[in-house]
A and B are shown apart, each in its own frame.
Chain A
Amino acid sequence: MVKITLGAINEVAGSSKNYKTGNWRTLKPIIDKEKCKKCWICYKFCPEGCIKKTDDGPVTDYDYCKGCGICANECPFKAIQMVMEER
């Protein structure tokens, strides 16, 4: 069992990675590869840095994507749709 520490000290550096914020999401971005022109605007605008550049185009890291929708809003080709999250 996790124990609380004095003054909320966390001795492990970079441990925020362990806290997967993806479950905050209500809307999920879906990238349409057909429409995507690999302009990387979504990659640049993502405030969480959770869109990865791949040869195949942008890939969302759903472990951390909070579903803010900025990528969908910024995409000039309307290649990203926000759909209701289903868990």
Chain B
Amino acid sequence: MTKITIRGNMATALGAKLSRPDVVPAYPITPSTLFPEKISEYIADGEMDAEMIRVESEHSAMSACIGASACGARVCTASASQGIALMSEMMFIAAGMRLPIVMAVGNRALAAPINIWCDHQDTISQRDTGWLQFYAEKNQEGLDLMIIAFKVCEDKRVLLPGMVGIDAFVLTHTIEAVDVPEQNLVDEFLPKYKPELYLDPNKPMTFGSFGTPEFYQEFKYAQVKAIEKASEVIDEVFAEFKKKFGREYKKIVPYKCEDADVIILTMGSMSGTARAAVNKMREEGKKVGCCKLTVYRPFPGKEIVDLTKNAKVIAVLDRDISPGFGGALYGEVAAQFINTSKHPLITNYIIGLGGRDVLIEDFEEIYDKSTDAVKKGRVEKPVEWIHLNQEVL
């Protein structure tokens, strides 16, 4: 195994290269541009045997992905923000047609106002497309999760597309040391994709055909059963990955949660900052822990409940906002507890939108606000915005 220092986009591109995709249709967009650039370079240098399709938009990129995947090719692409918004229509189709396309995402805010920085709104807004969603904390995870995503998505029990999110700039453009898995081990881990049925001019058939009211609901039910099954498959693939490459992945990773009164729930790059903040607060005698969500779809609701049920309060951090409600993750975590008789208080903090830095002191503020709710025995303001500059409002 070799160790190299690379930017996040290069890590996901390298993860893609090691997975040996046959076709890569992609349309460059900040902060993911380096991904198609790197793939194009790999192909030009003869390091990668794939067809790169230069498309005229992200909608076309996803359309080409669907066509290629239906032909039985292993397919990947990359995008972010507005690009994913434009792809949205085709993303539903990719999932409904049960095509295991893998997309690397540089998680970025959505306009207006135009903003190229880190935010989870782009992928969170696509949570109902039927794609699996993985969120990386660091570049190594970006690389590994690409390989893992292919294996999970192509599993016959799943057959669904999936995306791997790495935070814009914080990861996409930040250089970190990364262990590069050996190609022969990746080949053993991820054999060639062989779908049972594929488009072939010599044997014409229809993919994604008409679904009348008599059958549409059953198609959707089968699709939902597959993503639910993915939960089990992800555990198996994580275990196999650990055996092969030594690195451990979990859908949700707890840190100092056993005796914690306050548990902070995070996704993406801020999870490392959360652990540093927990360390600092633990030294001050505060009973606090944190949990990082690596898999957002399928939603690991049971795992979240098991890890957090004994806390006094769960502070859910959302780098996204569902206007008129609150954070998406908050709503989903709260829903997991609704039918339990006794559960922790649940607070929600909107943080780091549009690339605003997430700092250790923010976690201290979140801890203070959450413990205040515990003292009062109720949450007065469930959704709070951290680091909001009232002066400019």
Chain A interface residues toward B at CB < 8 A: 2, 4, 6-15, 19
Contacts and interface: CB of A to CB of B under 8 A. Distances in A.
B218 A7 contact: no
Interface of A is mostly: loop
A10 B205 contact: yes
A64 B206 CA distance: 20
Interface of B is mostly: loop
A81 B305 CA distance: 67
A8 B215 CA distance: 10
Given A4-B222, A7-B159, A12 B98 contact: no
B219 interface: yes
Contacts of B209: 8-10
A15 to B, nearest CB: 8
Nearest to A13: B204
Interface of B: 96-99, 159, 197, 204-211, 215, 218-219, 222
B219 A8 contact: yes
Nearest to B221: A4
A7 B205 contact: no
A19 B211 CA distance: 12
A11 B3 CA distance: 47
Contacts of A10: 205-206, 209
A6 B205 contact: no
A62 B211 CA distance: 23
Contacts of A11: 197, 205
A7 B97 contact: yes
A22 B163 CA distance: 43
A12 B159 CA distance: 22
B215 A4 contact: yes
Contact of B207 (A4, A8, A19): A8
Contacts of B98: 6-7
A10 to B, nearest CB: 4
